[in-house]
Structure 1
Amino acid sequence: MTTDADSRIIAARRITAHVAELLQADLSLRLWNGEVLPLGPNARDDIQIVIARPSAVRRLLLKPGLMTLFEMFATGDMRIEGGSPLEAADRWDHGRAIHLAKRADKMLIAKAAIPFLLSGSDAGATQLPEWDKTGNDGIGADKAGRSDKDFIQFHYDVGNDFYRLFLDPEMVYSSAYFTDHNTTLEAAQEELDRICRKLRLQPGQKLLDVGCGWAGLSCWAAKHYGVTVHGVTLSQAQLDYGRAKVEREGLSDKITLELKDYRDVVGEYDAISQVEMFEHVGFANHERHFLEMKRLLKPRGLYFHQASVRRGGLDPIKATNTTKVITRFIFPGGELDTIGMTVTNLGRLGFETLDVEDMREHFELTLQHWEDRLYAKREEAYAMVGEARTRLWLIYFALFKKSFERGSVLVYQTVAQKRRPGPSGLPLDRKSLYADRPVPAMTKVAKAPAKPARGVRAAVSKAIAKVTGKKSRAKPA
């Protein structure tokens, strides 16, 4: 006689065999009874996706999608063993994976689902962690409907020691710049210098560092370019770390850091840097953001804008399933722009876009380093922030690494100048950005060539007349 437990195992085998046929993956699935099933032809079992209990299958059948998967990875009802989430994701074709639900045989799945659905409960399912923000994720809200400080602190106040597990010594939490695939993360994060060069920084200038993070760029610019820096952040943990770093490096006379919304800053600056903070702003606040940048810049001041963006499409601002998951578990309030909207908004709100550089493959490599480092130190991370949060961050890194790899997410560095009629005052070529040493930020506007003296003009005119046979009109010297 077949028991309910037996019928669920038989159904799970049938569903897995169908998924394996579609996915063609090189890893295996381990059921709650310890049985290991391949997820593709000749699939290895060194990396396994583990389903902890039958109720996990029931939940996924009732509500299939990325959100349910993230919830189950958060609770531990589903987990990956034998490798990192990124190593697991490298074992299948990402295009096949994201279209799996569309290609599945719905009738086959429906019949196999019956034993799980008849069980009628989620018995044994683990509760989501307390920090899960199931309320206001901030999508589509303007400033009045957002709690930006809460959103930022949810993401960054996890703890400086947690971020130190995977970031470089400068604590740069943005895309590095790799000269080749063998470049170390530490060397690649000297990208800070390229940002300073793109801003044409020089001694005596004032730089506003919006979303200054752990003060990596602020310290680099003050130390190597002699500028005075005002950095603002909404994360108390970042502020505490940044102030200690400034003090430690003897830069207190050059750098001021504050816990402040950049929209409340008063002053005028030669340059502004915004490095991957814009993703937190939200579509409804984009116009306000660029107008604030314009307000805070001196005429012809330079604005550096680095942000991850979506590829775009028919409805570039509609929240995707990935967006919904990330804003709930990782980045509350986050919404990705498109490069087209970035440049359009800059142009219509008082800027001239001078330079746009795609860094998609650089961020892909950066995320690979972060994933590898965090996975290698996952036991330390468990002790700091718990297993649930660590697992979700590893999946988050893997998801976005694959998104950059496929080109569905990109990252651009954009440099714009506060518009004013006349010459920009900047060099005409890009050589200065790649020189061995920093160059002056602004060059003098070239004057029109001086007119030749009257005597010289007369001599030239006579020479032309002699050749052409026309009478010279030049006045005598």
Structure 2
Amino acid sequence: MTADADRRLPAARRIIAHVADLLRADLSVRLWNGEVLPLGPDARDDIQIVIARPSVVRRLLLKPGLMTLFEMFASGDLRVEGGSPLEAADRWDHGRAVHLAKRADKMMVAREAVPFLLGGSDDTATQLPAWDATGDDGVGRDKGARRDQDFIQFHYDVGNDFYGLFLDPRMVYSSAYFTRPDASLEEAQAEKLDRICRKLRLQPGQRLLDVGCGWGGLACWAAENYGVNVHGVTLSQAQLDHARARVRLLKLEDRVTLELKDYREVDEPGGYDAIAQVEMFEHAGFANHERHFNQMHRLLKPGGLYFHQASVRRGGRDAIRPTATTRVITRFIFPGGELDTIGMTVTNLGRLGFETLDVEDMREHFELTLREWTRRLYENREAAYEMVGEARARLWLIYFALFAKGFERGSVLVYQTVAQRRRPGPSGLPLDRKSLYL
């Protein structure tokens, strides 16, 4: 063992003690030698952040940031034991965490970093399940320059069985609607599906286009409970196969038609009474928003209703600039993804031929949804490791944690917006919203 290696452990102890003074968290760190150190006064050790090798400290010192954390969590060099990443994140104060680097004694940290920086690296190469090493994530590009079907299949064709580990039986992969905090995920997703149908004022015999129909949950619900004829499109073959099987199981073939097709290639002008887009819009990209709303307008009958559920950024001057979070997510989880703001959504609807009728914030509903997805995936993590590999399963757990905390803090939000294709005269809708909430 070199002299620098001999100095790494005491240096790590001093750095962690300094972090603990600032973070005051209720969990502990386990070093590569098995030593457990608290991250705050009276911190418990039931949940531990494990530093598997000294190079973890080295990498964090040389390249601090969310991308580095994601890479090391995926490789297992940095991991959480005793609970999920979300349970660990619940053990510290976010305000203290985000200002940690500013408040740290930089001279002290630089001094203690020397044995890690001079002692060489013990990194081992780990193949991570990241999107396209060329960096072609589609961000900022219009449809003609994006590989949308590849992007969708990277995310969704990881396997229906994997999604089944954490989704409800209908495989609804979007924010649920909780009428009470202790509602089950199954109850909350059924409530969400029914609210979509009520907000669209669906009537028997109408035609509904389900944009990004996923595993067929909404299509089957609308056909079965509201008597509408549904046309659903998706770019995921795995989703399509599952959804068609569900349609056959429920004997809805006469009312539900599903296709592997880009919704922008649907060519039935004025052919639909209603259109639902439920959290597909995040995949479209800023450069394609106008094209999206123009297509919705073209496909709807005059007076037809459009339902739009999407996660959005909080807004501000730099609302469309990529952030550390979006860079990580487009690399590992959602290539091509860009989040709108609710202001831009409503503005685009207004200028492209729609009247916005209703906007509902569902931020806390998505936090509850993500907490339940996390609980289920963490409980089934061994099965997930077998299906998709440990790296990808760990990435999904930290992705869920990142967004659950984002919705909790309000740095990311989700809205249900209902708009009508503009036409002269009355809207033809009730004067109040009571019928939406019965």
TM-score bracket for this pair, using the shorter chain length: over 0.9
What's the CA shift string for 1:201-226, capped at 9, x where partnerless? 00111000000000000000001111
Displacement of 1:112 in angstroms is 1.1
What's the CA shift string for 1:336-387, capped at 9, x where partnerless? 1110000000000100000000001111101110000000111111110011
Displacement of 1:20 in angstroms is 0.8
Output the amino acid matched with 2:213: C
Structure 1 stretches lacking a partner, 5+ long: 436-477
- How has the CA–CA distance of structure 1 residues 10 and 422 changed in structure 2, closer, same or farther, with 3 Å as cutoff? same
Structure 2 stretches lacking a partner, 5+ long: none
Displacement of 1:130 in angstroms is 4.9
What's the CA shift string for 1:6-26, capped at 9, x where partnerless? 211111111111111111101
Output the amino acid matched with 1:127: T
- CA distance, structure 2, for counterparts of residue 98 and residue 47 of structure 1: 20
Determine whether 1:369 maps to 2:369.
no
Displacement of 1:47 in angstroms is 0.6
Partner of 1:128: 127
Determine whether 1:271 maps to 2:300.
no
Determine whether 1:25 maps to 2:28.
no
- CA distance, structure 1, for counterparts of residue 376 and residue 390 of structure 2: 16
Contact 1:305 1:414 in 2 (8 A): yes
Say which structure, 1 or 2, has more relative contact order (CA 8 Å, 6+ apart). Answer: 2
Displacement of 1:132 in angstroms is 4.5
Partner of 2:8: 8
Displacement of 1:128 in angstroms is 3.0
Partner of 1:463: none
Output the amino acid matched with 1:129: L
What's the CA shift string for 1:221-244, capped at 9, x where partnerless? 001111111000000100000011
Determine whether 1:113 maps to 2:109.
no
Q: Residue 230 of structure 1 aligns to a residue in which SS?
A: strand
- CA distance, structure 2, for counterparts of residue 87 and residue 408 of structure 1: 19
- How has the CA–CA distance of structure 1 residues 73 and 105 changed in structure 2, closer, same or farther, with 3 Å as cutoff? same
Q: How does 1:77-476 map to 2 (within 5 A)?
A: 77-121=77-121, 123-134=122-133, 135-190=135-190, 191-267=192-268, 268-435=271-438
Contact 1:56 1:125 in 2 (8 A): no
Q: Which moved more, 1:426-435 or 1:85-94?
A: 426-435
Partner of 1:473: none
Contact 2:131 2:335 in 1 (8 A): no
What's the CA shift string for 1:110-159, capped at 9, x where partnerless? 111111111233x2424132555332122211112211101111110110
- CA distance, structure 2, for counterparts of residue 202 and residue 67 of structure 1: 48
Percent identity between matched residues is 78
Contact 2:129 2:391 in 1 (8 A): no
- CA distance, structure 1, for counterparts of residue 61 and residue 338 of structure 2: 29
Displacement of 1:102 in angstroms is 2.1
Q: Residue 109 of structure 2 aligns to a residue in which SS?
A: helix
The structure with the largest alpha-carbon Rg is 1
Q: Residue 230 of structure 2 aligns to a residue in which SS?
A: strand
Displacement of 1:62 in angstroms is 0.7
- CA distance, structure 1, for counterparts of residue 335 and residue 96 of structure 2: 29
Contact 1:176 1:362 in 2 (8 A): yes
Q: Which moved more, 1:98-107 or 1:232-241?
A: 98-107
Partner of 1:471: none
Contact 1:133 1:329 in 2 (8 A): no
- CA distance, structure 2, for counterparts of residue 197 and residue 151 of structure 1: 32
Displacement of 1:4 in angstroms is 2.1
How large is the Cα RMSD of the aligned pairs?
1.2
- CA distance, structure 2, for counterparts of residue 130 and residue 404 of structure 1: 25
- CA distance, structure 2, for counterparts of residue 9 and residue 394 of structure 1: 29
- CA distance, structure 1, for counterparts of residue 376 and residue 202 of structure 2: 33
Q: How many residues align?
A: 434
Displacement of 1:421 in angstroms is 1.3
Output the amino acid matched with 2:60: L
Contact 1:311 1:410 in 2 (8 A): yes
- CA distance, structure 2, for counterparts of residue 43 and residue 104 of structure 1: 20
What's the CA shift string for 1:390-422, capped at 9, x where partnerless? 111111111111000000111000000001111
Q: Residue 9 of structure 2 aligns to a residue in which SS?
A: helix
Displacement of 1:2 in angstroms is 8.1
- CA distance, structure 2, for counterparts of residue 222 and residue 298 of structure 1: 19
What's the CA shift string for 1:144-201, capped at 9, x where partnerless? 2211101111110110000011101111001111111111111111110110000000
Contact 2:131 2:137 in 1 (8 A): no
- CA distance, structure 2, for counterparts of residue 313 and residue 118 of structure 1: 42
Q: Residue 189 of structure 1 aligns to a residue in which SS?
A: helix
